[in-house]
Chains A and B, each alone.
Chain A
Amino acid sequence: MDLIELLKKKDRAAFKSVVETWQDMVYNTAIGILQNAQDAEDVTQETFMQAFESVASFKGESKFSTWLYRITVSKAMDHIRKKKRKKRFAFIQSLYGKNDQPVIDPPDFFHPGVSMENKENAAVLFKAMEQLPPNQKTAFVLNKVEGLSYLEIGEVMKITDSAVDALLHRAKANLKKILKDYYIAINKN
């Protein structure tokens, strides 16, 4: 029987097989968006839990991996929103003296899949990616970190491949501008 059909019947072995087949894909996408290993692990677990719960709604109109990508991106974006909310709340608490712990920005993120000679440059690029709008960031991560084609990105984001092209063009232009400002500021100091 098909793996997905078995998963719909809540078969444990099928679920294990699904997790083992797609865990790297889900984790790599999550870490590309979140830039934090612990957050990526949380989102990976949430993605598979969501997939297990709602597999009945998967009609097979798209590939199963596309469906998983969609859940991953949506969970990762939710995670970012929650984190921002927590950060804001902690800031407000600190204003009222209820929370003396300072809000610390995470250190530079080093993706484990980047080659040694590119590590420093990639860390700068990941930092710049944080300033991109969510859609541009998602498209850029799917293209650069996951290596998806424009067509595949379009299927995940439910947009046409020409829209993906425009989105990536804007993302690259924005990144170049952010990097230019960054290096000019460094040279001034």
Chain B
Amino acid sequence: MEDEFLNKKIDDVMQSMDGITRATPRPFLFTRLEARMQNEKNIWSKLSSFAARPVVAFACICFVLIVNAMVILMSGSSRNTITQQGPELATADEYSQVSYNLYDFENTKP
């Protein structure tokens, strides 16, 4: 009996959309749409006019050139440091008397 009632209820719910009519948007959708498109157009045109300024363009080019120069200089100097430190570190490791284990890492206090 209870199952019958439940099935009837589910069927009623499943059929509740029969005869549904279309929902309509608020009036003057096109006006709001045009305003939004204009607004987005303004944002992009403002952004593009800002980026097209000679000062901004020159500053961007300078920034890119400086970053490139820094990367080249830093990679050159770090390569030298590695080659110089390489044999020294190898010798230090070879003659090191300190041995680490898990116990040492956890007990730093004497």
Residues of A within 8 A of B (CB): 16, 19-20, 23-25, 27-28, 31, 40-41, 44-45, 48-49, 52, 111-115, 118, 121-122, 124-125, 128, 144-147, 172, 175-176, 179-180, 183-184
Tell whether B20 is near chain A: CB-to-CB under 8 Å.
yes
Chain B residues, Cβ within 8 Å of A25: 22
Tell whether B24 is near chain A: CB-to-CB under 8 Å.
yes
Residues of B within 8 A of A (CB): 6, 9-10, 12-14, 16-26, 29-30, 32-33, 36-37, 40
Chain A residues, Cβ within 8 Å of B16: 114, 118, 121-122, 124-125
Are the CB atoms of B36 and A45 closer together than 8 Å? yes
Chain B residues, Cβ within 8 Å of A180: 6, 10
Please name the residue on chain A nearest to B29 by beta carbon: A23
Name 30 A/B residue pairs within 8 A (Cβ), A-sorted. A19-B29, A19-B33, A23-B25, A23-B30, A27-B23, A27-B25, A41-B25, A44-B25, A45-B33, A48-B33, A49-B33, A49-B37, A111-B20, A111-B23, A112-B23, A112-B24, A113-B20, A113-B21, A114-B17, A118-B18, A121-B12, A121-B16, A122-B17, A124-B13, A125-B13, A125-B14, A145-B20, A147-B20, A179-B14, A183-B6
Known A-B contacts A125-B17, A144-B20; A176 and B10 likewise in contact (beta carbons under 8 Å):
yes
Chain B residues, Cβ within 8 Å of A147: 20
Tell me how many residue pairs across A and B have CB atoms closer than 8 Å: 89
A61→B11 CA distance, assembly (Å): 39
Additional pairs, 15, CB under 8 Å, beyond known A24-B25, A27-B29, A44-B29: A23-B25, A23-B29, A25-B22, A40-B23, A48-B33, A49-B37, A111-B23, A118-B16, A118-B17, A122-B13, A124-B13, A124-B16, A146-B22, A179-B13, A180-B6
Chain A residues, Cβ within 8 Å of B33: 19, 45, 48-49
Chain A residues, Cβ within 8 Å of B19: 115
Are the CB atoms of A31 and B12 closer together than 8 Å? no
Please name the residue on chain A nearest to B3 by beta carbon: A180
Are the CB atoms of A114 and B20 closer together than 8 Å? yes
A145→B20 CA distance, assembly (Å): 7
Please name the residue on chain B nearest to A129 by beta carbon: B17
Known A-B contacts A44-B29, A112-B23, A145-B20; A172 and B14 likewise in contact (beta carbons under 8 Å):
yes
Residue among B6, B9, B13, B37 facing the most chain A CB atoms (10 A cut-off): B13
A183→B8 CA distance, assembly (Å): 12
Please name the residue on chain A nearest to B36 by beta carbon: A45
A179→B26 CA distance, assembly (Å): 32
Are the CB atoms of B30 and A20 closer together than 8 Å? yes
Chain B residues, Cβ within 8 Å of A23: 24-25, 29-30
Give me the 4 closest cross-chain CB pairs, A-B, nearest first: A121-B16, A113-B21, A118-B16, A122-B16
